[in-house]
Amino acid sequence: MNDLSQIPSVDQILSTGQGKSLVGIYGHQPTVDAVRDCLDLVRQDFLKSGSEVPDLEVLLKMTADLLDDRLKPTLVPVINASGVIVHTNLGRAPLSGAALEAVRNVSSGYSTLEFSLETGGRGSRLIHAESQFQQLLGAESALVVNNNASAVLLSLTVLTRGKKVIISRSQLVEIGGGFRIPEVLRHSGTDLVEIGTTNKVHLFDYEQAYSEETSAVMRAHSSNYAIVGFTSEPKIGQIVNSAHEAGLWFFDDLGSGAMLDTSPYGLKHEPMVQESLAAGVDLVCFSGDKLLGGPQAGIILGRKELIDQLKVHPLARAIRADKMALSALSATLDHYIKGEALSTVPVWQMISADKQAIKSRAEKWKKALKRGDIIEAQSMVGGGSLPGETLSTFVLALDVDHPNQLLEILRSGSPSVIGRVEDDRVLLDPRTVLPVQDPDIINAMQLAWSKYEK
């Protein structure tokens, strides 16, 4: 068609079988808006360049494509074949089956989020998971908020506002998203006192900084970097004892939340929550979705008298955890209580995975794809944990002329597959792919390869 008068009306398009189908899929108003926008585009193209007016079939296809683009979700599942276990950009820790079931159970209907079955009256969401931390770690009290940055901010705001907090210069960290310890201290109304040097801090550095205005000493675990060489710092127990003798609190921002020892798997020992509590810290804060292997959450453990103050502060309500996070966290903690975290929590399944089993899966991928090489490589824990530490693994390596193009095709598939490039080869690491995803990644690789070859 080459006459604007031949352009069908919105009603004509919607009255077709495909138009009615689009309304059924996407809803009436979104479909009307998309049809109008497509018709406006056709008119503009015709007036600018005299382009031929598309027929009805093409207009319907344009409308369907526009609706799909507008209404497709931006948060979608992907297959993580990058070899980074706690991948911050990919949602950090995947949840166990029990954690997923717990979320479904409390979210598909109503729950006891803030209701007491015993009294029939109002309850508190702050009790959920607290008894599990007490049972598992012997903590006096616990508080769960929406993430670890919030946990640190709440602790400092409530307990040290208007006072001085001492911290080593080696611990003035910045993590992803611009979370900087000095800025958190400033926003909490706390006066930061830096001690020591970048590479060395001594116990006397702390003790010389104590004053009447000092309320606490803080440690921030250097989770995403390492200082090596000519370095030293006191053990945490020594600093805690010194602080307590001076009448000061000790706060520990542990970050990664490890409750299992990483060293048996060829990794450096990651400081554990149990160790902080055993050292006598007053409060320890850590993430729920890193090495703990649960949902996004900020967890505060420690002295009841301090946590009771945090619970009633107005900021605690603003950063509280929701029912889905609390239910997933409780289910994850059950794995630790039962002593089954290694076999049920995906992060720990990946860390402890047998190397030969990984190789066997990579070989199955190669056989199905009928190309590639199985080579040794390195996986990373990621998520601001164990910087520079790697786990030996086997990967499927695809030697192609344009590796980034193949990565883009893999990302654009359904499901999307995330790999990495090393030495101009695309590497796909089975360690970070859930075994149940093997059929999906094989299909995705086969489809991506066929597109790459065109």
Task: Summarize pLDDT for 43-62 with one digit per residue, the tens.
Answer: 888 878 777 878 889 999 99
Average pLDDT, the chain: 92
pLDDT, tens digit, 9 for 90 and up, residues 70-82: 998 999 999 999 9
Please give the share of the chain, as a percent, with pLDDT higher than 90. Answer: 79
Per-residue pLDDT, averaged over 413-424, amounts to: 95
- CA proximity to 431, closest of 92, 55, 84: 84
- CB 126 within 8 Å of CB 158: no
- CA proximity to 420, closest of 444, 395, 440: 395
Fold of the CATH domain 78-87+347-453: Aspartate Aminotransferase, domain 1 (3.90.1150)
Start-end of CATH 3.90.1150.180 domains in the chain: 78-87+347-453
Per-residue pLDDT, averaged over 420-445, amounts to: 97
Q: Give the pLDDT confidence score for residue 49 in this predicted structure.
A: 78
Cα–Cα separations (whole angstroms), residue 81 to 257, 396, 454: 24, 10, 24
| Burial of residue 97 (number of CB atoms within 10 Å: 0-12, 13-18, 19+) | exposed
Query: What is 95-344's CATH number, 3.40.1050.10, 3.20.20.10, 3.40.640.10, 3.30.9.10?
Result: 3.40.640.10
Residue 180, CA atoms < 13 Å, CB-side half-sphere = 7
b (16+ CB within 10 A) / e for 180-206: ebeebbeebebebbbbbeeeebeeebb
Q: Phi and psi for 372 in degrees, rounded to 5?
A: 100, 170
441 has pLDDT over 80 = yes
pLDDT, tens digit, 9 for 90 and up, residues 110-139: 999 999 999 999 999 988 999 999 999 999
Q: Give the pLDDT confidence score for residue 200 in this predicted structure.
A: 86
Those residues whose C-beta lies under 8 Å from the C-beta of residue 237, and which sit 6 or more positions away, are: 279, 280
CA distance 454 to 445: 15
Q: Give the pLDDT confidence score for residue 42 in this predicted structure.
A: 87
Amino acid at 43: R
Q: Which of 115-124, 149-158, 170-179 has the lowest mean pLDDT?
A: 170-179
Q: Give the pLDDT confidence score for residue 103 in this predicted structure.
A: 98
Hey, which of 195-204, 230-239, 413-422 has the most confident mean pLDDT? Answer: 413-422
Q: Are strands 84-86 and 373-382 parallel, antiparallel or unpaired?
A: parallel
pTM: 0.90
Per-residue pLDDT, averaged over 336-362, amounts to: 97
Start-end of CATH 3.40.640.10 domains in the chain: 95-344
